Amino acid sequence: MKKRKILKWMNSFVSVLLMVLLIGVAALFVYTKISGGEPEVFGYQLKTVLSGSMEPEIQTGSIIAVQTVEDGSGFAEGDIITFMESHDKLITHRIVEVNESSDGPIYTTKGDNNNAADSSPVLAENVVASYSGITVPYAGYIINFAQTPNGALVFLVLPGVLMVGYSTITIWRALGELEKSKKAAGTE
């Protein structure tokens, strides 16, 4: 009997946890679509690191949390920033030198694992975020895989099939228990 209570409690806990995750992801998706921007939670965005230029501090394949900034002029040497290199390419590197110009600060950046500084200086207006220090190693590989057709199969279709199977087993067991209780009530 005690085992049954534990299993029932675990079943309820997992169900509530999955429902909270589902609602949270749906709310984040809706918020992102309404705001028209990148997904952002409490002012932080998650970015996947695709190169080893910042190793060993930030490993290739990690996910990092960056805090978006409105004004990119308040950074100093040693800060790690995320900046727009081209129209669709973001880079996260460390500031190695700050120079002032009439248009504001100009940052010289360098990846910690690179031999030389980046060839193009970064204007303050191109800085989009600062690195928060939060890193989840190797999670970026999972995110990139999830965006492939095979990843969609693994992360969308397979859990759906498992949930349907689990529901079927739960219903089957409940019907069996109901039938046992009816038989027990009929024999009394």
90-126 tens-digit pLDDT: 889 999 999 988 888 999 999 999 999 988 899 888 8
- Catalytic residue (choose from 51, 53, 86, 119): 51
Specify the DSSP element, H or E, that contains 13: helix 2-35
Over pLDDT 90: what percentage of the chain?
Answer: 13
Whole-prediction pTM value?
0.64
Identify the CA nearest to 49 among candidates 147, 123, 144, 120. Answer: 144
51 annotated active-site: yes
Specify the DSSP element, H or E, that contains 167: helix 158-187
How far apart, in whole angstroms, are the C-alpha atoms of residue 27 and residue 38? 14
Residue 108 Rama label (left phi>0; alpha psi -120 to 50; beta): beta
**What's the pLDDT at 167?**
82
